[in-house]
Structure 1
Amino acid sequence: MKIQGKMFIWLSVFILAMAITYGVWSKEPVGTTALFLSFGLSVMIGFYLAFTANRVDAMAQDNKEADVADEAGDVGFFSPHSWQPLSLAIGGAFAFMGVVFGWWLLYFSAPILLIGLFGWVFEYYRGENQTQ
C-alpha cells in the first residue's frame, strides 16, 4: 500500500500545479475550484494510504522482487445474487424523479428505498443465505 500512497501524493502535486496554472491563465473560478477540490481529495486519499501502510503487513506489491503468485489465495467473501440493489435503484430513481416532477413522489420512493436497504442489510439473517 505504500506505492499507492506515494502515487496519490504525487498526483496531488500534479493536480495542484495544474490548478494554479489553470487558475492564472483562464481566470475561470468554477474549473479552478474543481481542480483545487480534486487536489484536496487526492491529498486525503494519499495520506490515508500512506498512514495505513505503516500499520498493516507488507503486501506483495511493496516487495520489488515479488511474483504475481505471492498474492494468490482467497480475496474475500462475495455475496451471492441479490435482488436488493434493484430495489434500491428503483427507489433511488423515483426519489430523484421526485426532485423533477414533484416532492410528492418521495412518498412512493421512500418505502421502496427502505425495503431495499433493510433487505440488503439483513440479507444474511433470513432465507436461503442465512448464516449459522
Structure 2
Amino acid sequence: MKTEAKIFLFLIAFFVVVTPAYAVITWQMGHFEVIGTTVLALTLLFCLMVWGLLIVTGRTVGMRPEDRKDGEIVENAGALGFFPPSSIVPFWSTVAITAMLLGAVYGWWISLLGVGLGIWAACGWAYEFYTGDYKH
C-alpha cells in the first residue's frame, strides 16, 4: 500500500498549498469564496483520512506482493472477493435519494416519502442475501 499512500501524500501536499492560496487570491480579488475554500479544505481532510487509513492498513496487513520488488503474480491468485449478482436495490436507493433532494425544491412532504423509501431500501441492502438456510 506504499504506492497508494504516496499518491495520497502528494494530494495532501497539493491541497495544503492550493487551499490557502485559493482563499488568499479570492480574498484579494474582493470577494472571498467560502464554498470553494470549504470544498478544498474538505478535500484535503478526505485525502488525509484515506492516507491515514492506507498507512494503518499497510502496517497491519504487511507487505503485499505488489509492494515488493520480488513479488510474483501467482501470489495474488485465488478468489478476489464476493461480487453480488444483479439487484434492484441500488435503483430504489437512487429513487429514495432523488425524492429526498427534490423535496427541498417542490415540498418537504416529498422528502418524507424519500426517507420512508430510503429506510425500505436500506433494509433491502441489509437483508438482500438472507436466502436459503439463512432466510428469515
Shift of 1:125: 1.4
1:82 to 87, 90, 93: 87
State whether structure 2 residue 113 is matched by structure 1 residue 108. yes
User: What are structure 2's unaligned runs of at least 5 residues?
Assistant: none
State whether structure 2 residue 66 is matched by structure 1 residue 61. yes
Deviates more, 1:28-37 or 1:8-17: 28-37
Q: Which residue of 1 aligns with 2:125?
A: 120
Shift of 1:54: 0.6
Shift of 1:68: 4.3
Give the alignment of 1:1-132 within 5 angstroms. Answer: 1-27=1-27, 28-30=32-34, 31-126=36-131, 130=132
Equivalents in 2 of 1:100, 1:38: separation in Å? 27
Q: Once the two structures are superposed, what CA deviation does each residue of 1:36-95 show, in whole Å capped at 9, x if it has no partner? A: 332222122112211221110321221124344543321100111111111222222222
Q: Is the 8 A contact 1:3 1:62 kept in 2?
A: yes
| Identical aligned residues as a percent | 29
What TM-score, normalized to structure 1? 0.80
- The amino acid that maps onto 2:12 is S
Equivalents in 2 of 1:26, 1:86: separation in Å? 40
Deviates more, 1:9-18 or 1:75-84: 9-18
- The amino acid that maps onto 2:20 is I
Deviates more, 1:58-67 or 1:1-10: 58-67
Aligned-residue RMSD, C-alpha: 2.2
What is the number of residues matched between the two proteins? 129
User: What are structure 1's unaligned runs of at least 5 residues?
Assistant: none
